[in-house]
């Protein structure tokens, strides 16, 4: 004889609902804006693109870029340069970055020229008064170039040229700024 106040079908339904709730609460969905979870650069770029395009993670662009560089360091090669360029062009096309930001991100890591040396005014009036800061910024940029050119793209020659350029700029600015300040005396 059935002593239970509930009918058998109700019991089964209750068990099903409870187990579903348990299963849903145990499953861990991927954290939003968590960045790439793979060490394959192509796949990582696609993951980042998805995060940026569909999950509203634009604010994390810096971290994603750094993650991609780290993944690329694990599998360096000349082709990586193109992959990063295409990713940045895509980011600019999608409106995640401005054209200028995309250029800065690319050139800072993958070009010999120093973005720190951008300026519209003459050296005596603009560069010389800030020479110390400019040289410090260039030093930081040189270490980014070491990462982008040498560790990610295996472009050792490019990095050596950037290093040489850094030294030449240091020398020429020292002389030019000394000449500029002598002219003011």
Place of tokens 């980042």: 48
- What are φ and ψ of residue 78, in 5° steps? -60, -30
| Residue range at the interface with another protein (CB under 8 A); choices 38-46, 49-57, 67-75, 79-87 | 79-87
Q: Is 126 in the site for another protein (CB under 8 A)?
A: yes
Q: Is 98 left (phi over 0), alpha (psi -120 to 50) or beta?
A: beta
Q: Is 81 in the site for another protein (CB under 8 A)?
A: yes
| Residue range at the interface with another protein (CB under 8 A); choices 7-15, 40-48, 68-76, 111-119 | 111-119
**From 46, 58, 107, 146, residue interacting with another protein (rule: CB under 8 A):** 107
Is residue 52 a contact partner of residue 97, using CB atoms and an 8 Å limit? no
Cβ closest to another protein, residue 55 vs residue 122: 122
Cβ closest to another protein, residue 58 vs residue 137: 137
* DSSP label at residue 148: I
Is residue 177 a contact partner of residue 131, using CB atoms and an 8 Å limit? yes
Token code pair at residue 74: 């694990």
**From 70, 117, 137, 146, residue interacting with another protein (rule: CB under 8 A):** 117
**Best CA proximity match to 78, nearest among 160, 161, 164, 150:** 150
Minimum distance from CB of 137 to another protein (Å)?
11
Binders in 147-176 for another protein, by CB under 8 A: 155, 157-161, 163-165, 167-169, 171-176
Is residue 117 a contact partner of residue 138, using CB atoms and an 8 Å limit? yes
Distance between CA atoms of residues 105 and 177, nearest Å: 29
Minimum distance from CB of 170 to another protein (Å)?
10
Is residue 37 a contact partner of residue 5, using CB atoms and an 8 Å limit? no
**From 37, 40, 78, 129, residue interacting with another protein (rule: CB under 8 A):** 78
Give contact residues for another protein (rule: CB under 8 A).
Answer: 78-79, 81-82, 85, 88-89, 102-103, 106-107, 110-115, 117-124, 126-128, 134, 155, 157-161, 163-165, 167-169, 171-180, 182-183
């Amino acid at each position: 004889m059935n002593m239970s106040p509930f009918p058998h079908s109700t019991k089964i339904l209750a068990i099903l609902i409870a187990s579903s709730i348990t299963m849903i609460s145990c499953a861990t969905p991927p954290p939003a804006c968590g960045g790439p979870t793979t060490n394959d650069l192509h796949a990582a770029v696609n993951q980042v693109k998805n995060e940026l395009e569909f999950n509203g993670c634009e604010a994390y662009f810096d971290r994603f870029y750094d993650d991609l560089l780290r993944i690329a360091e694990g599998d360096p090669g000349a082709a990586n340069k193109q992959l990063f360029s295409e990713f940045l062009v895509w980011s600019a096309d999608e409106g995640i970055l401005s054209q200028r930001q995309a250029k800065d991100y690319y050139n800072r890591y993958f070009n010999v020229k120093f973005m720190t040396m951008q300026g519209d005014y003459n050296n005596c009036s603009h560069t010389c008064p800030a020479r110390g800061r400019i040289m410090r910024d260039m030093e930081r940029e040189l270490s980014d170039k070491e990462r982008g050119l040498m560790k990610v793209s295996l472009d050792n020659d490019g990095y050596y040229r950037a290093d040489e350029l850094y030294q030449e700029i240091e020398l020429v600015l020292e002389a030019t700024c000394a000449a500029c300040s002598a002219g003011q005396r």
